[in-house]
């Protein structure tokens, strides 16, 4: 796992519990399929970003690069994350649906609801 140059790994201490579920699932997926994992955004790197929500700033989201992934890997990952983690997923601003993983151009945005229970996953 790598972090983009402007991403501060100390931001992980501000994650909400449900974010850790997506984080762990992401690492396991990349390990299982031999995919590179680069974290491109957490919290403090967002200063000049015009976002539609505050999921990053509240420790409920992170972004990963899809560089080195195939289209199939990207879509399979999003499908699995959205299917398996719908209960904790944030509502997508673009669709109004609960989505844990949203693919945008060169990255995947992973997101959870505020204050959601993770008991089902532990």
Q: Which of 114, 115, 109, 119 is nearest to 22 (CA)?
A: 109
Mean pLDDT of 38-56: 74
Q: Which of 85, 94, 21, 27 is nearest to 59 (CA)?
A: 21
Identify the pLDDT of residue 95: 81
pTM metric for this prediction: 0.91
Please report, for the chain, the start and end positions of each structural domain, with discontinuous segments joined by +. 32-62+72-122
Identify the pLDDT of residue 99: 95
Mean pLDDT of 44-56: 65
Rounded to the nearest 5°, which phi and psi values hold at 39? -80, 120
């Amino acid at each position: 796992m790598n972090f983009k140059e402007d991403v501060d790994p100390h931001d992980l201490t501000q994650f909400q519990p449900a974010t850790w579920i997506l984080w762990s699932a992401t690492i396991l997926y990349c390990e299982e399929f031999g995919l590179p994992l680069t974290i491109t955004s957490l919290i403090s790197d967002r200063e000049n970003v015009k976002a539609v929500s505050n999921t990053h700033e509240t420790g409920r989201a992170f972004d990963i690069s899809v560089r080195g992934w195939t289209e199939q890997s990207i879509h399979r990952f999003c499908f699995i994350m959205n299917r398996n983690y719908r209960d904790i997923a944030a509502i997508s601003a673009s669709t109004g649906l609960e989505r844990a993983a949203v693919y945008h151009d060169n990255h995947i945005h992973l997101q959870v609801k505020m204050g959601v229970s993770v008991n089902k996953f532990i």
